[in-house]
Amino acid sequence: MISFPNAKINIGLDVIEKRPDNFHNIDTVLYPVDIKDILEIIEAQDDNGSVRFTSSGLPIDADAGNNLCVEAYRLLCGDHNLPPVCIHLHKVIPVGAGLGGGSADAAFTIKMLNKLFSLNITEQGMVEYAKRLGSDCAFFINNHPARATGRGDILEPVETDIAGYILVLVYPGIFISTAEAYSSVTPEKPQQLLKDLVMQPLKQWKGTVHNSFETTIFTKYPELREIKEKLYGLGALYSSLSGSGSAVYGIFDKQVDTDKVFSGYKVWQTVI
């Protein structure tokens, strides 16, 4: 069985407060985008271990035992009698870019195992498994635009009027871990709720819909600020760091020529 785990972008991200468990309460809108890994899971033909993991494409952690796809398989094994499997991941979504690729891979593994072995886990049941793997893993079970609060695992549907616009996503090859981003951010309760701001027309988002990580991340990596400024220079209606970075995106009302402006960067351009 083959599936195509997709990336996400964050539309706004307020880091509100640090929790007693050392995580943070946040408020953000998660939006799926058409940039995808390729994930294959087949039942193993031998008994040499319960799970065999291989990968291709972009490099990932060499320790396959720490891969979230493997963790998802082992998590389900705790409640279900799963046979040995072979998992192959072709990585397209860059790691440390704020695009949720690893979380998507884990969530899609849960969905694939559920279907492949007829486990009959409900959607809510899969969401609960996904929450145990990572804060934004649960989003990729339903995989529709959602407001995420709490640690990012409390989801509610959200309607944003951006369907049909053009997304330009720029990845500069910088790795930013979630731990690094949160270590320097200053939590602050916003004056206006993000869910109200994103219901406004897209042209009003600039200057009102913010990402809390930009202040410190842009100071440490000024190249990312420059990318955002260049996206606005090309005519973006809205531009932002995605999640904790390092990918930066712009939303446009038409296709744009990015070749000269972002030469040497990885750039995707797709319809939202």
121-144 pLDDT, tens digit per residue, is 999 999 999 999 998 999 999 999
Per-residue pLDDT for 252 more than 70? yes
The answer to whether residues 227 and 220 touch, using CB atoms and an 8 Å cutoff, is no
Longest dimension (CA), the chain: 58
Instruction: Check if 115 is active-site.
Output: no
More confident residue, 42 or 178: 42
The pLDDT assigned to 61 comes to 73
Exactly one of 8, 36, 131, 228 is catalytic; name it. Answer: 8
Q: For this structure, is 136 an active site residue? A: yes
Lookup: tokens for 55: 């990968």
3-state secondary structure string across 195-214: HHHCCCCHHHCCCCCCECCH
Q: What would the mean pLDDT of 91-97 be, rounded to a whole number?
A: 96
Quote the pTM value.
0.95
DSSP of the chain: -EE--EEEEEEEEEEEEE-TTS-EEEEEEEEEEEEE-EEEEEE-SS-SSSEEEEEEES---S-GGG-HHHHHHHHHHTTS-PPPEEEEEEE-SPTTSSS-HHHHHHHHHHHHHHHHTT----HHHHHHHHHTT-TTTTHHHH-S-EEEETTTTEEEE---TTTTPEEEEEE-S----HHHHHHH------SS-HHHHTTS-GGG-TTTS-BTTHHHHHHH-HHHHHHHHHHHHTT-SEEEE-TTSS-EEEEESS----TTTTTTSEEEEEE-
Q: Considering the chain, what is the average pLDDT of its residues? A: 94
Residue ranges and CATH numbers for the domains of the chain are 2-157 (3.30.230.10), 166-271 (3.30.70.890)
pLDDT of residue 73: 97
* Catalytic residue selected from 27, 37, 105, 136: 136
Least confident window among 63-67, 89-93, 189-193, 220-224: 63-67
My answer on whether omega of the bond before 246 falls inside 30° of 0, hence cis, is yes
